[in-house]
Amino acid sequence: MNRPDGRQVEQIREITFQPGIAPHATGSVLVSFGDTRVICTACVEDDVPRWMKQQKVKGGWLTAEYNMLPYSTLQRKRRDISVGKLDGRSSEIQRLIGRSLRAVMDLKALGSRTVWVDCDVLQADGGTRTASITGGCVAVAIAMNKLLAEKKIKQSPLKQLVAAVSAGIYQGEALLDLNYPEDRDAAVDFNVVMTEKGQFVELQGSGEEDVFTAEEMASMVSLAQQGIQQIVALQKEAISNADQADETSLQDLAQAFNFRK
């Protein structure tokens, strides 16, 4: 079949990670799934939510916020603050991001800290929630490695990576990583969240005014598994590159300091 952008049915869009996009965050990355672009940051706060203190829960917490910027869509999206409340879709997506990342975190190893993961969509072309989870994990990994380098923690609370990708039934065929035209016209839409070890964190799927068979569901999940293996490899490369860049920056700073001395 001919996909709108010419990809094969099992082909993910070009995925890139640009670490360090928000210097004041503990960890940050600009993730791109084709024309979908999301800034993901992880900020670490040396405090925990009030409910954890009241219930004397040990360890830390991770929570997420998701927002589509007004210019991210073809028609301007009103800011939530202008209507006085978070819309239902954004609320559901940020809960999904938080659940997905907490599934791979050892919150006790985090200590009495809160990790705030913010995902701001710059441009939406389908798959903003899957890009947010994928980029959010990279931002958290960079942040945890920074805490390790600063000797604030003894081991990384991030047990393994997590990534997400969409799949769907479009014009009668199972496709991987739907862009906006495919997502808009898909008969069935699935979002799959998995760990790097191949474990499922969450499956979200529904027929868009249609039904689907067990065989079709298996095809979509199989495509997603293949896609996530590729995405995890790209995540690892991005995290490694970010760590090397941080190490180089520290070496440059040390050299500059010695030179001044």
| Ligand-binding site membership of 16 (annotated) | no
Q: Tell me, what's the pLDDT at 255?
A: 53
pTM attached to this predicted model: 0.90
Please report, rounded to a whole number, the percentage of residues in the chain having pLDDT higher than 70.
92
Residue at 1 is within a domain: no
Residue at 3 is within a domain: no
Domain count, the chain: 1
Which band of pLDDT confidence, cut at 50, 70 and 90, is reported for residue 198?
very high
| Ligand-binding site membership of 113 (annotated) | no
Give 158's DSSP letter: B
Pick from 215, 144, 154, 220: which is nearest to 182 by CA? 220
| Ligand-binding site membership of 128 (annotated) | yes
By residue range, what is the domain housing residue 53? 15-260
Residue at 10 is within a domain: no
Residue at 159 is within a domain: yes
* pLDDT(260) > 60: no
Q: Which residues pair with 193 in a beta bridge?
A: 164, 202
Query: 61-68 and 114-123 as β-strands: parallel, antiparallel, unpaired?
Result: parallel
Q: Residue 20 belongs to a domain with what CATH number?
A: 3.30.230.70
Residue at 7 is within a domain: no
C-alpha separations of 181 from 34, 133, 169, 188, 228 in Å: 13, 21, 13, 13, 22
Residue at 5 is within a domain: no
Residue at 4 is within a domain: no
> What is the pLDDT averaged over residues 164-172?
95
Q: Tell me, what's the pLDDT at 214?
A: 95
| Ligand-binding site membership of 260 (annotated) | no
Q: Tell me, what's the pLDDT at 253?
A: 38
pLDDT tens track for 62-113: 999 999 998 898 888 887 777 677 788 889 999 999 999 999 999 999 999 9
Whether the CB-CB separation of 239 and 138 falls below 8 Å is answered with yes
Residue at 236 is within a domain: yes
